Homo-oligomer: A and B are copies of this chain.
Amino acid sequence: MLTYDFAKAQGPLYEYIYQCIKDDIMEGNLRQGEKLPSKRSFAKNNGISTITIQNAYDQLISEGYLYTIPQKGYYVAKLEGMKKVQRESSLSLHINMPEGRASYEVDLSDNRMNPALFPFSIWAKVLRRIISAQSGELMETSPAGGIRELRVAIAEHLKSFRGMLVDPDQIVVGAGTEYLYGLLVQLLGNKRQYCVENPGYRKIVQVYRQYHISCKYADLDEKGMTFEGLCATGADIAHISPNHHFPTGITMPAGRRYEILAWANEREGRYIIEDDYDSEFRLNGKPIPTLFSMDACEKVIYMNTFSKSLTPTIRISYMVLPVHLINRFYRELSFYACTVSNFEQYTLAAFIRQGYFEKHINRMRLYYSRQRKKMMETIRKSKLNTVCEIMENDSGLHFLIQVKTDKVDEEILRALREKGIRINALSEFFFTPSERKHCFIINYSNVDMEKAGKACDIFYQIMME
């Protein structure tokens, strides 16, 4: 007969009994096939109710530790595998979480969003209205490409802002550009050769590598990816940012664009992925027309994101696919649920449609163009100016400085970090050994100018040491 010390019970009594019996089974005190006392006698002997025992037995049955034979009673189940499974962990591994981003006195390596600039109250207001007016839609499954309202809003934005004529049904919305890169590989296949810009954005290569694609690298000249470089890679797919290359800032001129388009037209299965990640921040003049708009042969896939224009912490990017590829997407990949929550899709759609997005962009452009001006003035007023040249093209959230020095880039970066200044060198963005030395990237969007002035002086001192 089972006897347990009920004084030890904490919480519901049936749970205690359940745990005691389970422990006895696992420790072998109750053998497999052994009959348990009947509910009634067990209850009576211990002065507790039958229903308590019933609950404990029921739980053990539903977990498979006991089984019952009607009219006969309860038995311990066969648990053959149990002996083969280690009960106590012999492993006591340590979790190595990557350290958070170190904090620097002056950080020019990153365009972190200034929280004061995000339109929180409008965003919250728009969401509140959506919740009260469209709660039904919020619970309806989104199409794989995103809800239609958002795709229509994006198409209208692309028309007025980028001069692009796009059917909303060509648009696919997803939780970040990296996610969309992955979808594209699934759509185009990983047996093809992919070619990226050298230097370029390292994450593109990291994502492609996850799909077992080893990217080819094509060098750039002052007009962007060279036609000869692209041809030499033997690639089928060219992933480029012709409107504002990261990190050099190059805008690909029309002549080169037509060359690259002609390359894509030469052979079936060739595509160009046009990554237009910060097109909203061309600070002067009209925006440069997209390669997508110049293409009439369904060769260009256009990608953009709200990470730069809104905030990277709301994960919404999109791509515009040529018609035959959007058809393939819905044929082959529409089993995937859209990765962006309906709440944020509807909020963003209304935010764009009601003109808030345009206002926000205009405000940000003004802010960034002032920051840019201040940052350039700060450099020009500092001693650093005597040994560096600013290279810029009125676009995006960064510019470059070329420094005259004999020092090695890594040394300079290390010395700067020791003084609390974080900055990237252009050479860090090359996939092959680079000859572009002593060129540094100034991400100015969220920098305190007083600190930036001191940082310029420190930079100069390091050069002179």
Contact = CB atoms under 8 A, between A and B. Distances in A.
A69 interface: no
Interface stretch (A307-315, A364-372, A414-422): A307-315
A79 interface: yes
Given A131-B120, A297-B85, A80 B143 contact: no
A387 interface: no
Interface stretch (A40-48, A170-178, A353-361): A170-178
Contact of A91 (B176, B255, B297): B297
Interface residues of A, number: 117
A258 interface: yes
A62 to B, nearest CB: 6
A227 B85 CA distance: 15
Interface stretch (A231-239, A340-348, A405-413, A428-436): A340-348
Nearest to A55: B285
Interface in A215-264: 223, 227, 251-263
A170 B94 CA distance: 11
Interface stretch (A2-10, A134-142, A437-445, A456-464): A134-142
Contacts of A336: 178, 207
A120 B343 CA distance: 11
A81 interface: yes
A324 interface: yes
Contact of A337 (B55, B178, B182): B178
A115 B138 contact: yes
A85 B115 contact: no
Nearest to A94: B323
Contact of A84 (B85, B170, B265): B265
B285 A327 contact: no
Interface stretch (A95-103, A192-200, A377-385, A396-404): A95-103
Given A115-B138, A296-B87, A297-B85, A257 B315 contact: no
Interface stretch (A273-281, A286-294, A447-455): A286-294
Nearest to A332: B210
A123 B298 CA distance: 43
A313 B254 contact: no
A37 interface: no
Contacts of A298: 89, 91, 93
A451 B112 CA distance: 55
Given A95-B167, A175-B340, A285-B55, A63 B311 contact: no
Given A285-B62, A323-B93, A80 B255 contact: yes
B288 A62 contact: yes
A58 B169 CA distance: 35
A71 interface: no
A88 interface: yes
A118 interface: yes
A127 interface: yes
A269 interface: no
A227 B80 CA distance: 12
B64 A254 contact: yes
Contacts of A167: 95
Given A65-B254, A79-B255, A297-B86, A313 B342 contact: yes
What 9 A-B pairs have minimum CB-CB distances, sorted nearest first?
Answer: A64-B253, A81-B258, A84-B262, A81-B259, A64-B254, A313-B342, A81-B262, A175-B339, A93-B323
17 contacts: A64-B257, A79-B254, A81-B227, A81-B256, A82-B255, A84-B262, A91-B297, A93-B298, A93-B324, A98-B330, A118-B135, A124-B128, A127-B127, A128-B128, A175-B179, A312-B337, A315-B341
Interface of A: 15, 18, 55, 58-59, 62-65, 77-82, 84-91, 93-98, 100-101, 112-115, 118, 120-121, 123-124, 127-128, 131, 135-136, 138-144, 167, 169-170, 175-176, 178-179, 182, 186, 190, 203, 206-207, 210, 212, 223, 227, 251-263, 265-266, 285-286, 288-289, 294-298, 311-316, 323-324, 326-327, 330-331, 333-344
Given A65-B254, A95-B326, 10 more contacts: A18-B286, A59-B285, A80-B258, A81-B255, A82-B258, A84-B262, A85-B258, A85-B265, A95-B327, A178-B337
